Amino acid sequence: MANNEKTSKRVATEASKILRSRTASKIAKSVAGSALTQAPDHTSAPKRTVGKRRSK
């Protein structure tokens, strides 16, 4: 597999649901886990500071 292949957000969401399911088989959970390891890392937006001003 190429290094640039990534799991889509939709597939990653479904894989997450499968992993949380009590009724999913071990094979289904294994495939779901594999899909999530290929998903891009979740990064949060940069935090803004409120009320701080630069001194001149």
pLDDT for residue 47: 64
Average pLDDT over residues 41-45: 66
pLDDT tens for each residue of 26-41: 999 999 999 988 877 7
Residue spans per domain, the chain = 8-40
Count of Cβ atoms closer than 10 Å to residue 32 Cβ: 21
CA 56/CA 44 separation, integer angstroms:
31
State the pTM of this model: 0.62
Task: List Cα–Cα distances, 4 to 1, 7, 38, 39, 40, in angstroms.
Answer: 9, 10, 10, 11, 10
Is the predicted pLDDT of residue 42 greater than 90, yes or no? no
